[in-house]
Amino acid sequence: MSSALEQPREAIATACRILGMEGLVDEILGHVSLRIPGTEEMWIRCRGPHEAGVADTQADAIQRVTFDGAGAEEGYCVPNELPIHAEIYRARQEVGCVIHAHPPAALVCGITELDWKPIFGAYNIPAMRMAVEGIPVFPHAYLISRTELALPLVQTMGDCHICLMKGHGITVTGRTLEETVVRALNFHALAKVTLQAAQTGRTVASISEEDLRELPDLGRTFNEEWVWRFYVRKLAHWEGAPLQEN
Find the angle CA(36)-CA(184)-CA(58) to the nearest 5 degrees. 55
DSSP 8-state code for residue 223 = I
Q: Is the Cβ–Cβ distance between 180 and 33 less than 8 Å? A: no
Radius of gyration of the chain (CA): 18
Dist. CA 232–CA 246, nearest whole Å: 10
Question: Of 12, 220, 10, 39, whose CA–CA distance to 100 is shortest?
Answer: 12
Long-range contacts of 26-31 (CB under 8 A, 24+ apart): 26/53, 26/54, 26/102, 27/53, 27/54, 28/53, 28/54, 29/54, 29/102, 30/54, 30/99, 30/100, 30/101, 30/102, 30/169, 31/79, 31/81, 31/85, 31/99, 31/100
Dist. CA 46–CA 53, nearest whole Å: 11
Strands 62-66 and 41-45: antiparallel
HSE toward the beta carbon, residue 12, CA cutoff 13 A:
28
Q: Which of 81, 178, 179, 224 is catalytic?
A: 81
Known catalytic membership, residue 10 = no
Residues classed as catalytic: 81
